[in-house]
Amino acid sequence: MKPSRYFIINFGCQMNVRDCERMEGILRERGIQASENSDSADLILINTCTVRDKPERKALSMVGRFCQAKERTRPELILGICGCVSQQYQEKLLDRFPGLNFALGTNQVAKLGEVLDQVLTGKRVLRTEWADADDPDLLFRISLDQPSGGVSQFVTIMEGCDNYCAFCVVPYVRGPEISRNPDEIISEVQAWSEKGVKETVLLGQNVNSYGIKNGSGVDFPALLKRVARVDGIERIRFTTNHPKDLSDRLIEAMAGERKICEQIHLPLQAGSDHILELMGRNYTGDQYLGLIEKLRSAMPEIGIGTDLIVGFPGETEPDFQRTLELAERIEFDEAFTFRYCSRPMTRAANYPDQVPEPVKLERLYRLSSAVSRITEKKNQAQAGKVKEILVEGVSKSDPERLTGRSREGRLVHIPAQGHRGLQGRLVSANIKRSLKHSLLGEVVARVDNEGNRQGEEQCILR
**Which residues are near ligand SF4 by CB under 6 A?**
161, 163-165, 168, 170-171, 205-206, 242
Q: How far is the CB of 238 from ligand SF4 (least distance, A)?
A: 14
Q: How far is the CB of 340 from ligand SF4 (least distance, A)?
A: 12
Residues in the chain: 462
Nearer to ligand SF4, 51 or 439 (CB): 51
Q: How far is the CB of 165 from ligand SF4 (least distance, A)?
A: 3
Residue 365 dihedral angles phi and psi, to the nearest 5°: -60, -45
For the chain, the C-alpha Rg in angstroms (whole number) is: 23
Q: How far is the CB of 284 from ligand SF4 (least distance, A)?
A: 16
Nearer to ligand SF4, 171 or 303 (CB): 171
Query: Within the chain, what is the greatest distance between any pair of CA atoms?
Result: 67
Residue 420 dihedral angles phi and psi, to the nearest 5°: -65, -25
Give kind and range of the element (H or E) at residue 94: helix 91-96
Nearer to ligand SF4, 93 or 276 (CB): 276
Decide: 223 and 236 in contact? Cβ < 8 Å: no
**Residues 376, 437: Cα–Cα separation, whole Å:** 8
Nearer to ligand SF4, 206 or 239 (CB): 206
Nearer to ligand SF4, 292 or 348 (CB): 348
Decide: 401 and 389 in contact? Cβ < 8 Å: no
Q: How far is the CB of 163 from ligand SF4 (least distance, A)?
A: 4
Give one word for 351, left, alpha or beta, with left for phi > 0 and alpha for psi -120 to 50: beta
Nearest of 80, 89, 104, 87 to residue 3 by alpha carbon: 80
Q: How far is the CB of 93 from ligand SF4 (least distance, A)?
A: 23
**Residues 286, 292: Cα–Cα separation, whole Å:** 10
Nearer to ligand SF4, 156 or 206 (CB): 206
CB atoms within 10 A of CB 261: 25
For residue 180, CA distances in Å to 139, 195, 249, 265 come to: 8, 22, 20, 21
**Residues 358, 356: Cα–Cα separation, whole Å:** 6
Q: How far is the CB of 153 from ligand SF4 (least distance, A)?
A: 22
Cβ neighbours of residue 435 closer than 8 Å, sequence gap 6 or more: 379, 413
Nearer to ligand SF4, 177 or 442 (CB): 177
Nearer to ligand SF4, 8 or 165 (CB): 165
Q: How far is the CB of 121 from ligand SF4 (least distance, A)?
A: 37
Decide: 404 and 412 in contact? Cβ < 8 Å: yes
